[in-house]
Structure 1
């Protein structure tokens, strides 16, 4: 435990020194640029993390060592930004430093409620990218006994797959050297001839695809609301059963089945073809990136021509289109923005690229399901508008998540100035409808 302690009220701050391998300054990597642009567009530092109970016997010293471990092991946790007056932000990786761990005494209050309040304070306090380390951590205790751990990080240093790697390694206290290309090494590769070839090929693919897709994704205008940005959730037990059954029948991965369901539903509800969306590509299949703890995800532009198709035909087309998109989902974001702007000038209209799809589910075992069981699950489907606010969302962003082993939750976020809420709800309901109709052998109109 560090020697420096600052106490204020019920909060004690323990200074935690750390050292780690690797340091230096360079431009942002492609993955860092992608998430940085999202932070700017959505006007948030994207706090991620949360609160969890601690096992019996946990100590404050355990919290100190956990924080030291994270800061020492991962270069992304030792990264701050530099903001030159004449250019874009740059990353600075430090090989040593100090960070505070908060120890919060709950007193007579419920320690879980205190932990949630700490989490809320962390999330609602502005983050200083230049002067602050990217993690805020607290141990909450009652009567001297630690009960909860609160960890909040900025999304800038962590994508979903990277967070999963970090969690797994920290839980087992992984001591082997970190694997994969760290951000500074990624930047050097991206400047190499191999990196330039990858980016150039991706840019050519985007340029060609942008010429083929409709400028607008919706046949009608928006439905401006106040607050402007809405988030809805469809909870369904029928959808995962149907997708599992289709995957077993077609012998195709469930993620491709779900994307096909989405494409057919969007074509039906929005009246556009091809259906174009930006898939979130983890890029973890690329050499050196599988186990990197840091942001390497980018979006892959996918155009899916499913008009007049049966489900099997649509599935084949979506598989081909998505594989091509993922192949070209790793690129120089600044160069891409130049091409998007040039394409808009050539077409005489801007192409709406604010349409995103992200399947975040874990792997599910394909299995044939009795159609009667699929239909029987339909009455349990619930759709709810959960959040209405003026914090910026993309025009449409659909996340597919495991709600439980038996249910899938579709999170749809929309800008009501461009996407009417009834259309958004119709889209996620149509996804369930397409999947159920296919799995039960009913006709599925495209």
Structure 2
């Protein structure tokens, strides 16, 4: 696969730094290529500590093996007809100048990790003229290397850009964006702003910048919120089922199997139940996963870590930065209809969100202390990550609309595919890690499981049961007792 010239050149260095990005060898390109250097210049620059969300991602990056690029996202931004290359460059420049996280360097210092926001600099955009070629072919050729080369965060800005053109007509931007720059929510902010800029619209002032957020996190208000969050976690960690906290592998090497379900039927069923309950579709899927975790492990409750973006304050709602924290989700198994259980799951998730602002290293230290008191080794959690670049505002429950949404559900079931494979990579701190990637025309749910955690069953069995449970419920069995469902899937 071809390596791209100039990928390492999306970088900015302080004047005192004489180091250069490592050279990248490339083979002969499939398309004619050249570089465009784009200058940015803003009066916002400075240094400071990482915010809590940045620390959470930085610690995962530090845990990953050298050369791992799994926290990079490869995305495509189509360019509408009638726009010029200068229009695209102006929009990109505006985005980089608006959002400090897109021009921030991160490195480890004597007192911990810190960030340096670069005020002025330039970066190279690699331009490929594909002529009459297909955009899909160019993306397939260029995309893997654009994504797979890791960033050196102390040297390289956390974004790489390739522009596809035909003659003087821009067609598409292909970007590799690091998780150190954005989370799912703020990626959508940047994408939407690009679409508005390229359409000639004027944007409102940007949201809070990371260094401004760092000032808040040092305030008395933030420290008080952190104390409440840590106390909430400590209370639950002291009593949660040990199997949902403790590592399964012990001193052995990680041993994971993963499975993926691709199911239009699961998506339809989930959306139907969301309408029936008046909750977000992701909350429905999360509730089904929780019920099955309890049933598979034989526990009368489920405890999961949710990966969330804690944008509770108006200023942080539009902040572009990694804002990920873990929220604690805990739900007991009660004798009630599934719809009532799903509603309780949505409320339990909200309680967890409210207690999810804290310094992540303080949390892990506290959890280790509590686990030690219980005589268990932590680092074996059940994670649920709603990784969709979307959000919804649930309406009031509507049984008639729910029934209509489920029409044709049975006809979709034959289109389901479930694949399973052993994984060389492993999720950090998990026995069970579910990623929800899509919930539109299809549900795309990926699951990593430490072997033995769901024994004698595995992740493929679990995903098939998620589909079976929710499709049956959407087809008219939603009043079935949760106790009966628990017994059936145990």
> What TM-score, normalized to structure 1?
0.87
Partner of 2:7: none
Give the conservation status (yes or no) of the 8 Å contact 2:85–2:168: no
1:70 is aligned, of 78, 84, 95, to 95
Cα displacement (A) at 1:392: 3.1
Q: Report the counterpart of residue 425 of structure 2 in structure 1.
A: 391
After superposition, the Cα gap between the structure-2 partners of 1:168 and 1:145, relative to the gap in structure 1 and judged at 3 Å, is closer
Aligned twin of 2:367: 340
CA-to-partner distance for each residue in 1:44-91, whole Å, 9 max, x for gaps?
34111323544444443334223312211111111111322x232101
Please give the residue correspondences for 1:163-174 in structure 2 after superposition, counting only pairs within 5 Å. 163-173=187-197
**8 Å CA contact retained: 1:24, 1:93:** yes
Partner of 1:154: 178
Partner residue, 1:37: 59
> Is residue 219–residue 270 contact of structure 1 (8 Å, CA) maintained in 2?
no
* Partner Cα distance (2:285, 2:257) in 1: 23
RMSD: 3.1
Question: Which residue number in structure 2 is paired with residue 49 of structure 1?
Answer: 74
* Structure 2 CA distance for aligned equivalents of residues 355 and 276 of structure 1: 7
Structure 2 residue 244 is matched with structure 1 residue 212: no
Residue of structure 2 in register with 1:60 after alignment: 85
**Which residue of structure 2 aligns with residue 280 of structure 1?**
307
Q: Secondary structure at the match of 2:328?
A: strand
Gapped regions of structure 1 (runs ≥ 5): 1-7
Task: Tell me if structure 2 keeps the 8 A contact 1:247–1:257.
Answer: yes
SS of the equivalent of 2:458 reads helix
Alignment match, 1:126: 150
CA pair 419-117 structure 1, distance change in 2 beyond 3 A: farther
Tell me: CA distance 1:104–1:26, structure 2 relative to 1, closer, same or farther (3 Å): same
Q: Is the 8 Å Cα contact of residues 237 and 378 (structure 1) preserved in structure 2?
A: yes
CA contact (8 A) 1:414 1:421 kept: no
C-alpha change, 1:220 and 1:292, in structure 2 (3 Å) is closer
In structure 2, the CA distance between the partners of 1:18 and 1:232, relative to structure 1 (3 Å rule), is same
1:415-443 C-alpha deviation (Å, 9 max, x unpaired) = 44756694212222222222233233434
Task: State whether structure 2 residue 105 is matched by structure 1 residue 80.
Answer: yes
Alignment of 1:304 with 2:338, yes or no, is no
Residues in 1 aligned to 2:365 and 2:247: alpha-carbon distance in whole angstroms: 29
**TM-score for the superposition, normalised by structure 2:** 0.80
Question: Is the contact between residue 205 and residue 328 of structure 1 (CA under 8 Å) also seen in structure 2?
Answer: yes
Match of 1:295 in 2: 322
User: CA separation of 1:230/1:143 partners in 2, compared to 1, >3 Å: closer, same or farther?
Assistant: farther
Q: Does 1:237 align with 2:264?
A: yes
Moved more, 16-25 or 62-71: 62-71
**Distance of aligned partners of 1:219 and 1:72 in 2 relative to their CA distance in 1, 3 Å threshold:** closer
Q: Does 2:128 align with 1:104?
A: yes
- Do the aligned partners of residues 309 and 427 (structure 1) sit closer, same or farther apart at CA in structure 2, a change above 3 Å counting? farther
Structure 2 runs not aligned, ≥5 long: 1-25
Secondary structure of 1:12's match?
Answer: strand
Q: 1:255 to 1:233 in 2, by over 3 A?
A: same
Give the direction of change, closer, same or farther, for the CA distance of 1:384–1:227 in structure 2 (3 Å limit).
Answer: farther
Please name the residue that 2:119 is paired with.
95
